[in-house]
Amino acid sequence: MSIHEEGARRPRCVLPFEAAAEELHQLRKEVKRTLEQWGARDLADEAELVATELVTNVIKHVGEGASAALVLEVRGDRLRVEVHDKSRTVPALRVVCGEAECGRGLHLLASLCEEWGTLLTEAGKAVWCDLSIEPARHCMRVRRAALVLAEYRRVAGASSAVMPTSAVLEESVTDLITDLLHWLQAQGRDPDQTLDRAQMHFEAEADVA
């Protein structure tokens, strides 16, 4: 059952569920359907990914059959994806993604989310992630960049136990660009010319957007 609150208030959808693997498919469908209703279809993939990770955390670390709720809410230029459960144990970042093999997924999650956090409530806690709903952020180039940055941070040995801040992610981008410039130079190419072309393409596409 879903509960929608719109009209004069900001769009909000509450999706109660029991912690079980078979619930995930239906929750993802509800997330996609809700965002389509709100005119945010382009955000569906990211929101489904975040919801899956947070719900999986409840299943694995709160327990099978636990009562919980997935909340979607538009807050200005952001979509908040929030999962409430009855445990007051604050998750470590390595736990949010589930198992160790999800380290890459956590880096990707960090690249997609603006912010994340845990809020203790009277009934337990809420773990939330904010996604930008600016259309330009979800173009194919940005999605590809998020994937590349996630893999680069994994290969570079960045810790998956700490959610990187925007400043840390920006530093990772700088490191990635620097490595690419070294690669170009090693291939006998001119890094400055490549940077100039990239800047021209970026400015042209930004003007169109």
Tens of pLDDT, residues 100-133: 444 444 556 666 688 888 899 999 999 999 998 8
- 90 vs 78: CA distance, rounded Å: 24
Any idea of the CA torsion for 61, 62, 67, 73, to the nearest 10 degrees?
Answer: -60
**Band (199; pLDDT cuts 50, 70, 90):** very high
Q: What is the pLDDT of residue 90?
A: 80
The structural domains of the chain, ordered by start, are 3-134 (3.30.565.10), 138-208 (no CATH)
Among 117, 115, 111, 121, CA closest to 87? 121
Q: What is the pLDDT of residue 61?
A: 84
Q: Is the pLDDT of residue 6 over 60?
A: no
Q: What is the pLDDT of residue 110?
A: 64
DSSP-derived secondary structure letter, 114 = E
114, 130 in Cβ contact below 8 A? yes
Q: What is the pLDDT of residue 161?
A: 54
Per-residue pLDDT tens for 129-182?
999 887 655 566 776 787 788 888 888 887 655 556 778 888 999 999 999 999
Is the pLDDT higher at 89 or at 124?
124
Mean pLDDT score of the chain: 81
The DSSP line for 139-157 is SHHHHHHHHHHHHHHHHTT
Residue count of the chain: 209
- 139 vs 142: CA distance, rounded Å: 5
Q: What is the pLDDT of residue 184?
A: 95
Q: Is the pLDDT of residue 195 over 90?
A: yes
Q: What is the pLDDT of residue 111?
A: 65
**Average pLDDT of span 22-38:** 92
